[in-house]
Amino acid sequence: MTFKTLLAALFITGTASVASANTDVLPSESTTFTPYGSVEGWSIFVNEDRKTCMIESVDANENVVQMGLTADRGVGYLGVFTKADIGLTSGEDPVAVLIGENLYVGTARTLTTSLRDGYTGGYVVTDDPQFVTDIMQQYTAVVLPNSEFSFAISLDGTMKAIEAARECTAAQGG
């Protein structure tokens, strides 16, 4: 069985937990992010439009990891962006992220104006409470794009960073 066949089977069988609603992850181009602080290698930003906070880290391989809440605040997201060629076609491709023993599925997009120069990637959006627990308790996650390879991202410091983001969001009235 090839990697692509395995990934397709995971999507079809529903092994991963994904929020069913089409929630808005990407902010509008007019959104203002204000630096709030940092903890354990994670930068915390206030999304002034949503009155929520997000965290961002850049690992040793220059992969950017972002976490926050969607526009409706009921769903969390994990964004992973890389300069590596992950074989994205135009439009959207499936992507899975293995965190601990659990697999979460999302969508990767080709470069858009919302992403930094040279980066491609996507988001996993979920309302599964285990998702946040997994992120807070693990030190790495394995990203499985719809290609023949995978890559790891660092989750070091996420426990304190997520707690700080929650405090930041509460301070915004969120």
**Number of structural domains, the chain?**
1
Read off φ and ψ for residue 157, nearest 5 degrees. 80, 5
The answer to whether position 29 is within a domain reads no
Identify whether 27 is part of a domain: no
CATH number at residue 112: 2.60.40.1880
- Residue 66 domain-assigned (yes or no): yes
Range(s) of the domain holding residue 10: 3-21+57-161
Q: At what angle do helices 129-137 and 158-171 cross, to 10 degrees?
A: 130
Tell if the pTM clears 0.85, that is, is over it.
no
Nearest to 110 by CA among 95, 90, 126: 90
Beta-sheet strands, E only, within 5-157 = 33-39, 42-47, 52-58, 64-69, 76-82, 92-99, 102-109, 120-126, 140-145, 151-154
pLDDT tens for each residue of 115-148 = 566 787 778 888 888 999 999 999 999 988 777 7
Considering the domain boundaries, does residue 78 fall inside one? yes
- Would you say residue 95 lies in a domain? yes
- Compute how many other C-beta atoms are within 10 angstroms of the C-beta atom of residue 114: 12
